Structure 1
Amino acid sequence: MMVFVPYQQVILLLSNIMTTMMRVYIDGINAQNEANLAAMRHMRRRRRARRQAVLQAALAYNQRVNPVERQFLGPRVSAWWDAAPRQDDRFWKENFRMSQPVFNILCDILRPRLQRDALNGFSVEKVVALALYRLSTPSDLRTIANLFGVGRSTVCELVQEVCVAMIDVMMQQYIVWPTGNRLRRTIQAFEEKHGFPQCAGAVDGTHIPIIGPAKNPADYHNRKGWYSMILQAVVDNKLRFTDINVGFPGRVHDARVLRNSTLYEKGQNGDLFPAWYKEINGTPMPIVILGDPAYPLLPWLMKGFSEGANFGQQERTFNYRLSRARMVVERAFGQLKGRWRILMRRNDSALKAIPQMVTSCCILHNFCIEHNEVYEAGWDQMHVIYEQPQADPVHDVVPSADDIRNALLGYFR
């Protein structure tokens, strides 16, 4: 015997089932949201505790060093910085990446430029130290403000002021394209140490992490999956930057960055190097720089052979020699980011200010090399990742460049 249920009861039953399922689903979402909020609150507490621990350690250290003066300092103090002049060389290198005598030289160079600007009553030494600490450590603005006794907004203003001063005063002095005797010494060093003739440097690009900008963020999203800005640089045998180009979005290919740089324009016009040739296997070879497979092969820019059907022992030897000489640019990028660690983590500064900070780090990199500041092995603990060649090389072979590279095969053999 069949029992018929009124359709109103069926609809009511289905409605109750749907209501119960919806309530369970909403309860699950609410529970997940509460768990996420709890995790975020836990992370904030941990970060706050770390900041307070750093500040308390600095204040406690200063209390031990000079307890009499410490008790008279007000709420806006710079006790940590006030004690810095009495510290040893290790303290200066750990916090400012250079010894105190070299720091004083840097302050003397920037003093005329900085004293023309309003420094909010701070000394040149304090302003320069604050900028170096910002560039060399992953500390946040709050920690730096507490260590130097200034406001967070003042930290940003002073750092940009020092970066602009470095570019105006030191750029042309410390980032110099090799000419004359310096060029001759560079070519000789590459041939004697790396076995590559007529080489004046190596070019490559590296990505500087940034926060995704509000305008055109997709342009800065690189092939690695994060937002970045590109630094293209040429490096000589002493790991010094001789040419830099900063500012292209991370999505741009290395070859396109090169083609839009003054380096490419001078190279194509024949203005990059003097006409110093060396005959190799009957071919006059000009002065060149070395690049990875992402770059085009040009008479003034050498790159390795692609592994194909005609790739043999001679091509393998050429690639080995070129790669060994080109490692100077990889090492320079590694030391640049190891010494100035703001380039290793995501930079939270305004987009227009980042090229100035990157350029300043390159200037400081050369400044430290020129003043024999030894790069400490412990600075590599941040695991600097060398940039790998981009997967899609650009094929733009000029016949004369191909002849030059083929002539080098017999030279290396």
Structure 2
Amino acid sequence: MESELLRRMLTSLASTSRLAIELFLKIQSDSESEGEDSDDAIETRNAYDTKLLVAFTDMLSIVERRFWVRETSTEWWDYIVMEVWDDEQWLQNFRMRKATFMGLYEALAPTLRRKDTRLRAALPVEKRVAIAIWKLATPDSYRSVANQFGVGKSTVEIVLMQACKAINRILLRRTVTLGNVQDIVDGFAQMGFPNCGGAIDGMHIPILAPPHLESEYVNWKGYFSMVLQALVDHRGRFIDINTGWPGKVYEARIFRNTWLFRKMQAGTFFTVGEAEMPIVILGDPAYPLMPWLMKPYTGSLDSSKERFNYRLSQCRMTVECAFGCLKARWRSLYRKLDLAESSIPAVIFACCALHNVCEGRGESFTQAWTSEVQHLEAEFAQPESRAITGAQRGAARIRDALREQFEAENQQ
């Protein structure tokens, strides 16, 4: 390699480090003192080239990095949030108390912990989890969250996806699960509907226009969305969730392509003892009437059908309330998720898992949170459900039997 080329390489980097300048001048001075007219001139030049290469390599490993990372403040997180904030402040900002947050941190730590490198110290796991939770709980931009926690904008994006994937890997199956079937059936029975194992519905999550097949993501309200379909129990906790489908797809089509539909069709989703009537789930008119899925009567209604619809509606409110709590807790779901469409399902799944964590730990839900997202709900109104006609005979008989039972109870 020619010495002049090496000189130019070092000169281009010298402005970034005093060390590079000192090394270059020292080696150049030593080589010139040996003389170019001696019989060993060629060997001297080779030695000179070797020294320059060594100096160049050493410099790259220890050069000052002021131009790579800007100094930021972490005092707000280290000394105010962790040391000063009480449970109410944690609840309002992270949607959970500090004890719940620390339990979440302990569960995710083995997956999220990173080692320090020669270039920088790794972010503590507590801070990684806090950045992700803050981003999910607020409509703040990546830059705003980065400034809040004293990290780079790209760091927030990376940490968010790492945390969401860790939540899904570790907590999703543990938290989004069926639980005790008899408790669920008893809970819905107390609300007025017997042999009910859950309520199902879909919610549209606003997203940015995807680069491919964007017309498929435009829903009936005219904005880009991705559908979350969920089955919830009598307490409003998610039992089964499915997401990733474009907003243009009908809810009935999504449902027929889910694991839940196949399990319900096979009669293996609910496992209880023998019962005179099958355990059913409740849906709105957009869902197909099945022997195990009840939906409201439509068209001309008599008093008994209206009574049936009222009881079904009362129990279906659990899924509507669950969606309301989900959006109010994790407000990022209403800010057009600024992610590739392939990454969005991981964020939605994580929010559902965190919702169940908060519900399971008895975290308070403030009604004021609902008003915070009302203006967002107006901007991204949910598309109306479209009724499906043509009920199956067996399913219609079961629905009529329930209607007659409700009518008999009313006359007693």
**Structure 2 counterpart of 1:344, one-letter code:** Y
2:240 paired with 1:243:
yes
**Structure 1 counterpart of 2:74, one-letter code:** S
**Structure 2 counterpart of 1:228, one-letter code:** S
- Could you list the runs of 5+ residues in structure 2 that have no partner in the other structure? 1-69, 408-412
Match in the other structure for 2:21: none
Of 393, 406, 410, the match for 1:412: 406
Alignment CA distance shift 1:408-1:218 (3 Å): same
CA drift at 1:392: 2.8
2:181 paired with 1:183:
yes
Contact 1:294 1:389 in 2 (8 A): no
Q: Distance in 2 between matches of 1:196 and 1:315?
A: 14
Contact 1:275 1:286 in 2 (8 A): no
2:88 paired with 1:96:
no
Q: Distance in 2 between matches of 1:117 and 1:201?
A: 44
Of 92, 112, 115, the match for 2:113: 115
Q: Distance in 1 between matches of 2:296 and 2:391?
A: 12
Match in the other structure for 2:73: 77
1:285 counterpart SS class: coil
**Structure 1 counterpart of 2:141, one-letter code:** D
Give the alignment's Cα RMSD to 1 decimal. Answer: 1.8
Q: Deviations over 1:10-52 (max 9, x none)?
A: xxxxxxxxxxxxxxxxxxxxxxxxxxxxxxxxxxxxxxxxxxx
Q: Distance in 2 between matches of 1:410 and 1:361?
A: 40
Deviates more, 1:74-83 or 1:299-308: 74-83
CA drift at 1:385: 4.4
Of 262, 266, 281, the match for 1:269: 266
2:203 counterpart SS class: strand
Q: Distance in 2 between matches of 1:321 and 1:365?
A: 26
Alignment CA distance shift 1:274-1:227 (3 Å): same
2:357 paired with 1:356:
no
Alignment CA distance shift 1:391-1:208 (3 Å): closer
The number of equivalent residue pairs is 329
Contact 1:209 1:343 in 2 (8 A): yes
Q: Deviations over 1:141-192 (max 9, x none)?
A: 11111111111011000010000000000011100023xxx11011001111
Q: Distance in 2 between matches of 1:118 and 1:275?
A: 51
**Structure 2 counterpart of 1:356, one-letter code:** A
Match in the other structure for 2:362: 372
Q: Distance in 2 between matches of 1:114 and 1:295?
A: 40
Contact 1:78 1:146 in 2 (8 A): no
Spell out the pairing of 1:314-393 with structure 2 (5 A cutoff).
Answer: 314-381=304-371, 382-383=373-374, 385=377, 390-393=384-387
Alignment CA distance shift 1:154-1:407 (3 Å): same
1:213 counterpart SS class: coil
Contact 2:220 2:383 in 1 (8 A): no
Match in the other structure for 2:394: 400
Q: Distance in 1 between matches of 2:271 and 2:74?
A: 53
Q: Deviations over 1:331-380 (max 9, x none)?
A: 00000000000011211122111110010000000000111101112111
Match in the other structure for 1:169: 170
Q: Deviations over 1:221-243 (max 9, x none)?
A: 00011000000000001110000
Q: Distance in 2 between matches of 1:335 and 1:118?
A: 38
Q: Distance in 2 between matches of 1:207 and 1:173?
A: 25
- Could you list the runs of 5+ residues in structure 1 that have no partner in the other structure? 1-73, 279-283
Q: Distance in 2 between matches of 1:135 and 1:117?
A: 25
Deviates more, 1:80-89 or 1:160-169: 80-89
Q: Distance in 2 between matches of 1:138 and 1:389?
A: 22
Spell out the pairing of 1:122-141 with structure 2 (5 A cutoff).
Answer: 122-141=123-142
Contact 1:276 1:286 in 2 (8 A): no
Deviates more, 1:238-247 or 1:75-84: 75-84
**Structure 2 counterpart of 1:306, one-letter code:** T
The TM-score normalised by the length of structure 1 is 0.77
**Structure 2 counterpart of 1:358, one-letter code:** I
The TM-score normalised by the length of structure 2 is 0.77
Contact 1:196 1:322 in 2 (8 A): yes
Match in the other structure for 1:13: none
CA drift at 1:118: 8.0
**Structure 1 counterpart of 2:298, one-letter code:** S
Q: Distance in 2 between matches of 1:117 and 1:264?
A: 44
**Structure 1 counterpart of 2:393, one-letter code:** P
Alignment CA distance shift 1:388-1:398 (3 Å): farther
**Structure 1 counterpart of 2:297, one-letter code:** F
Match in the other structure for 1:146: 147
Larger CA Rg, structure 1 vs 2: 2
2:208 paired with 1:211:
yes
